[in-house]
Chain A
C-alpha cells in the first residue's frame, strides 16, 4: 500500500532531522516509508490507559 504521508511532507521530515539528502535519496527512502507507516500505526494505536507506563522507568537510587 502506498504511503499515506505525502512525499513533500516526508521530505520536510528529512530536512527537520538535519539531513541534506538528494532528491533521488529522498525518493528511495520515501518508497520504503510505506513499510514504516504500518509499524508506526501499531505503536501509535490508541486505547492505552492513561496510566500505562513505558518499559523504561526512572530509578533515582541508581545514581
Chain B
C-alpha cells in the first residue's frame, strides 16, 4: 500500500479494505525506516499505537466505527499534554514531565478513534529554533533534510509530509502551524481564536495561541478540525457556538466569493521569491476562472502587526517562564532564551500599548475587509532555507505573513501552490473571517485541486 491521505485511509477502513492495525504497522515501519533522517518524533509510542489500532479494528469488524477518524494514525506536537506519556516541549526543562491528563483536543481526537503514534518535535516551548543544543535534534524537511521545516510545529510538518503520520496537531502563536505547512508542502490551518480548546496545551502566549491541525490535504485538515473544535469550559477563551460540518461543502467552489489580494505585504513589506509570486498569481487566476471576484485590498503594514505580536508574545511568554528564566536560564536552548529575554525588558505600559495597538489593527483589518469574504497572501517568503543558515534573529529582522491573523484571531491556512527553483514547496495563505472555516476550506480545496500536486511526495518518502 502506498501512502494514503487521511481521507483515503478513512474510506478504506470504512470499506474494510485495510485494517487499522495494518495501517498503524505501516506507519510504525515508516517511522523506523525514515525518522533517523528527519527527527520528527520525540517519542514513538508503538504499544499505545497498536492498542489503539486493535481497539479500532475490533470496532471495524463489528460495524461500530466511531466515525471517519476511527483507526487513523496521528501524532501530537509535544506541547500537547498526553496522560501517561512524556510531554517535553522539546526542552531539557520538561524532559521527564509526564502529565496526568490529556489536553482537551488530544482527548477529543482519542475519543474519535485516532491511533496515537507518538509525540512530535517542536521548537522549544513552541518558540525557539531551529536549535542544536537541546536534548533532541531539530526536525528536518523531508523534501531535503538539509533544509528547515519552519516551526514551531516542525515535527508535525515533517512527519505529515513524509507520510509517517496521516495528520497531526500543531499550535500557532505567530505562524507555527502555517510556517511548517508552507515549507513542508502540506496543508495546515490556524482556526479562529477560541474554536479549539487550548486546555492542556503548554501555553506560549495566552492571547495569541491557537491550536490546529496539519495534514496532507485540505480535506484531511477539515476532518481533523471537526474532531478538535468545540466549546470547552476548561479554556476561558473557548467559543460557545455550534461547530459546523467542515467537509460537507468542500466541493462547493468559490463562485461569487469576493477575495482581496493583499499585495502590499509581498510587494512592499516583505519580498517573496518568483515562485511564491507566481503561486499567488496562479491562485488568483484559478479562483477568478472559478467565478470568484478578485480585487486588491490595502491593509496595515506587516511591520505594524509584527511589532504588536512581538511585544505581546514575548511579554506573555516571559511572564510564564520568569522563574525558570531567572534560575535556570542556561537550561533553555540558546535561541529560545535569547528571544524570550526581551519580554522581560519591556515596561507594563508597553504591553498595554501593544494590546491597544492590536485593537487598532483588528479594526483596520476588519474595515478593509468589509465587503470581502477571503484574503489571499503569500504563505512564506520562499522555499525552505538550509537548516544551518536560519538567522538567529530572523523573526526580529523581517516580518512574516502569519502574525496579522494571530493578532486578529481570524482563521487562516497555508496550502502548497507548486515548487521553487530548488525543488522545494511554496505556498499561499488564505484567510477568512471569524468562524468561517467552511468557506476557508472550500476556497483552499479549489487551489489545492488546481495547483498542489498532491500525488507528488518527497523522494525520501516514496
Contacts and interface: CB of A to CB of B under 8 A. Distances in A.
Contact of A42 (B304, B326, B355): B304
B97 interface: no
B325 interface: yes
Contacts of B397: 35
A29 B346 CA distance: 14
A58 B311 CA distance: 20
B311 A40 contact: yes
A46 B213 CA distance: 39
Q: A interface, by DSSP: helix, strand, loop or mixed?
A: helix
Given A17-B341, A43-B311, A36 B396 contact: yes
Interface string B315-332: 000100010011001000
Interface string B85-129: 000000000000000000000000000000000000000000000
A62 B235 CA distance: 11
B338 A55 contact: no
Nearest to A18: B326
A29 B229 CA distance: 40
A55 B393 contact: no
Interface string B277-309: 000000000000000000000000001101110
A53 interface: yes
Interface string A47-63: 01000111110000010
Contacts of B318: 17
Which among B329, B357, B407 has the greatest number of chain A C-beta atoms within 10 A? B357
B358 interface: yes
B341 A54 contact: no
Given A35-B396, A36-B342, A42-B303, A18 B359 contact: no
A53 B356 CA distance: 6
Contacts of B353: 43-44, 48
Interface string A1-19: 0000000001001101111
Contacts, number: 90
Interface in B159-173: none
Given A17-B344, A19-B344, A32-B393, A40 B350 contact: yes
Which of B306, B345, B353, B355 lies at the interface centre, i.e. has the most chain A CB atoms within 10 A of its CB?
B345
B359 A43 contact: no
Nearest to A53: B359
Contacts of A35: 393, 396-397
A39 B310 contact: yes
A31 B362 CA distance: 32
A54 B345 CA distance: 20
Contact of B341 (A29, A44, A48): A29
A55 B345 contact: no
A52 B359 contact: yes
Contact of B354 (A14, A16, A32, A43): A43
Contacts of A52: 356, 359-360
Nearest to B236: A62
B238 to A, nearest CB: 11
B247 interface: no
A13 B342 CA distance: 10
B326 A21 contact: no
Given A32-B396, A62-B236, A17 B307 contact: no
Interface string B199-228: 000000001000000000000000000000
A55 B346 contact: no
Contacts of B393: 32, 35
Contacts of B364: none
B341 A56 contact: no
18 contacts: A16-B345, A20-B329, A29-B338, A29-B341, A33-B342, A35-B397, A38-B303, A40-B346, A42-B308, A42-B357, A43-B308, A52-B356, A52-B360, A53-B359, A54-B358, A55-B356, A55-B362, A62-B236
Given A19-B325, A39-B310, A43-B357, 8 more contacts: A17-B325, A20-B326, A32-B393, A43-B307, A43-B308, A48-B360, A55-B207, A55-B356
**Nearest 9 interchain pairs by C-beta:** A54-B355, A17-B344, A39-B307, A35-B396, A42-B307, A55-B358, A55-B359, A13-B345, A18-B326
